[in-house]
Structure 1
Amino acid sequence: MFIAIPLLEIALLIKIGQAIGFWATIAMVIGSAVLGTWLLHKQGMETLRRVLTAMDDGKPPVEPVLQGFLLLSAGLLLLTPGILTDALGLILLIPPVRELIVRYGLKRLFVVTVSGRSRRSGPAADATRPDVFSEAEDTGPRGPAGPETREPRQRSPLGGGPVIEGEFERLEERTIDPRRTKK
C-alpha cells in the first residue's frame, strides 16, 4: 500500500499533465500545498479556540478535537503532492462529511450514559467501580457450579478477576530471607 499509492499518484500526475499541460499540473500541485499550509495554520488556531470554549462551558471537548483532527488530516493531505491525496483532503474540508465522520466516531466509543451514570462495556467494564459484584455462575475447570454454590464475587478494581482476601505480615528489609535471620 505504501508503494502502490505513490505509484498511482505519479501515474495520475503524468496523465493529468498530458491532459492539461505540465505547468498547469505543477501550479495545481503547488496551489494545493499552499492551501494545505494555510488551512493547517487557520484551522489549528480555530480548533484551539473551540476546545477552550467547550472546556469553559464545562463540556468535554471531544467533538472539537475530532473536528480539528480531521481538518489537520485534510491539511496534511493537501500538503502531500498528488491527485488522490488532494481529492481526499478536499473531501475532508466539506463540513457535512466531517460531521458524519465525527458522529460515526462518537458512536463507536463505548461509554453509554444511562440515568446520569456512565456504564462501560468491554473487558475493563467494572474497572472503575470496585463495588460491582458479578452474579454470573462460577465456572471452573469442571464446568458451572450448581445453584447452591452460586455466590456473588467481588471484582478487582483493575478488572483483573476476583478479589482474594487474606492476611499478610509485613517483613522488615533485613528479615526477608529467613535462613539468614539471627535469633
Structure 2
Amino acid sequence: MTTSSVPPAETSARTEPDLQAPERAMLEGWLEYHRETLAQKCSGLTDEEVKRAAVPTSELTLLGLQRHLSEVERWWFVTVFAGGTDEGVYGTEEDPDGDFHFGPQDTYAEALATWRGEVAAARAAAAGHALDELGVGTARGGRHFSLRWIYTHMIEEYARHNGHADLLREAIDGATGA
C-alpha cells in the first residue's frame, strides 16, 4: 500500500472562459476549465485515496477517472479526428476497460503525467483545423464527426465525470466545491 501524496494541480485556479469569446476560444476555454477541474478534484490526496472506490455500490475511483480521460482524449482527438492509430492508453484487447483497472504499482503521478501528455497530443491534433472540419473516424451510418462536435462532446464528457469526481472527493475527505 502506497501513501505518497498526489501532486497538486499545476494551476491553483481554473480560468473561466471569457463571457463573450468567439466560438473556438469559448469551446477551448470550457474544455480547459473542465480538464483542470478534474486535476483539482484529485489534488492533495494520497495514491491510496485516489484508488478508493468511495461511493458504495460503485467501483469508480478518481484514479480510474483520470486514466479514463486519458483514453478519451486520445480516442476523440488523435484517433477519430486526426486518424491516428486505434491504440489504447490503458485498455487492451484482453481488458478494454483497463483504464479503470489498476494495481498497487500504479500511481497517480504516472496517471497525471500520462493525462497531461494526452491533453497535449489532443491540442496538437486540433490545432490549425477549422471547427467545421470533419475527422477521419465515422459514426454509425458512416457520417464523420466535426471538430466542433468533438469539442462539445469532450466538454460534456468532462462535465459528467467531474460530477462523479465531486461525489468521490466528498466521500473521501469531505472536500466540496471547485
One fold, TM greater than 0.5?
A: no
| Bigger fraction of residues in helix | 1
Could you say which TM-score interval applies, normalised by the shorter chain? Answer: under 0.3
* TM-score (normalizing by structure 2): 0.26
* TM-score (normalizing by structure 1): 0.25
Which structure would you say has the larger RCO, counting Cα contacts within 8 Å and 6 or more residues apart?
2
